[in-house]
Structures are given as structure tokens and as C-alpha cells.
Amino acid sequence: MQIGKFVDESRFLSDKKGGSAVEFALILPVFVLILFGLVAYGIYFGAANSVQQLAADAARASIAGLDEDERRKLAASYIHDNASGYMLLDGNYISVDVTSGRRSRSQFDVSISYDADRLPIWNMRIPLPLPGKVIRRSSTIRIGGI
């Protein structure tokens, strides 16, 4: 009994039906992984950008302080009052540090650490390497003029 009697081999090998479905089945998992990776990293980079912008804005707001203690209070007050207005940030999970500049006494630094453990990317369970759960950013500003 030959198999050719029941199935026309030449027609079977040249039939293109279902090829697109096979290609789609092979590419779909990779596409979904890339899509979820873009969303996860987009959320993280959005939060990191907000932390950096908050540090810069707090530094600008605290320049009015006459000494380091007053600048620290102004920066902490600005962050407490405005952190929730920044995308993806919750003011309850932010810590701030204002110090004199490391390079010069005519500068000071506003450093912010944000606990990003509550961002939705940690619940996505995607098999990609994710960044750290603490975002640290700082901004340095000069005291006085140029």
C-alpha cells in the first residue's frame, strides 16, 4: 500500500494554507514579550524622569534658603506638597537629602530616593531583567550668581 494513493504528495508539499497561522504562532510570544517589556520599562522610565524632575524643582525651590537647614526644610516642604502631582509618584515613599555640594561650598545637592516597589511593573511577572526597586536621583544647584 503506497501513501501516494491516499494523499497527493506534490499537492501536500506545495499547499500554503495555514502557513500564516504557523508563523503567527511562532512570533506571537516574542511580540507579546517585547510589548510587555516596552510597557514595563516605559512605566519605570516615566517614574525615574518624575523623580529627576522633582529633585530639580525642589532644588530650585530651596535656593531661597539662607543656610543649609533652611534649604533642607524648603526642599522637604516642596516635595511633601508637590510629589503627588508628578506622574507615577506617591509622596509617601520619597526620602530627601539636602547637603552642601561635594565639590564646592557654593553649591548644594538635593538627592531623592523613591521606593518604586509599588509600580505596576513588578506585578507583570515578565521574564525580563527589571531595574532596581529604588530610584535615586539628585540635582545640584549653585548658591548665588555665576
Starting from the edge strand earliest in sequence, which strands make up the sheet with 94-100, in order? 94-100, 107-115, 134-142
Q: Is residue 52 included in any domain, yes or no?
A: yes
> Helix axis angle, 19-62 relative to 68-82, nearest 10°?
140
State the DSSP code for 37.
H
Does the residue 12 lie in any domain?
Answer: no
Confidence of residue 141 (pLDDT cuts 50, 70, 90): confident
Predicted local distance difference test score (pLDDT) of residue 8: 60
Cβ contact 128:67 at 8 Å: no
Radius of gyration, alpha carbons of the chain: 27
Domain count for the chain: 1
pLDDT tens digits for range 43-97 = 999 999 999 999 999 999 988 888 888 988 999 999 999 998 998 999 899 998 8
- What grid cell was written down for 10? 506534490
pLDDT, one tens digit per residue, over 88-131 is 999 899 998 888 766 677 788 899 999 999 888 888 888 888 88
Contacts of 127 (CB under 8 A, 6+ apart): 33
Residue 9 falls inside a structural domain? no
Q: Is residue 7 part of a domain?
A: no
Question: d(Cα 56, Cα 109) in Å, to the nearest integer?
Answer: 10
Q: Which amino acid is at 48?
A: A
Q: Are 79 and 108 in contact (CB under 8 A)?
A: no
Asked if residue 36 is part of any domain, the answer here is yes
In a domain, 4, yes or no: no
Q: Which three cell numbers stand for residue 29?
A: 510570544
The verdict on residue 136 lying in a domain is: yes
**Grid cell digits, residue 117:** 516597589
Q: pLDDT by residue (tens digit) across 22-48? A: 889 999 999 999 998 999 999 999 999
| pTM, rounded to two decimals | 0.78
Residue 81's domain comprises 18-142
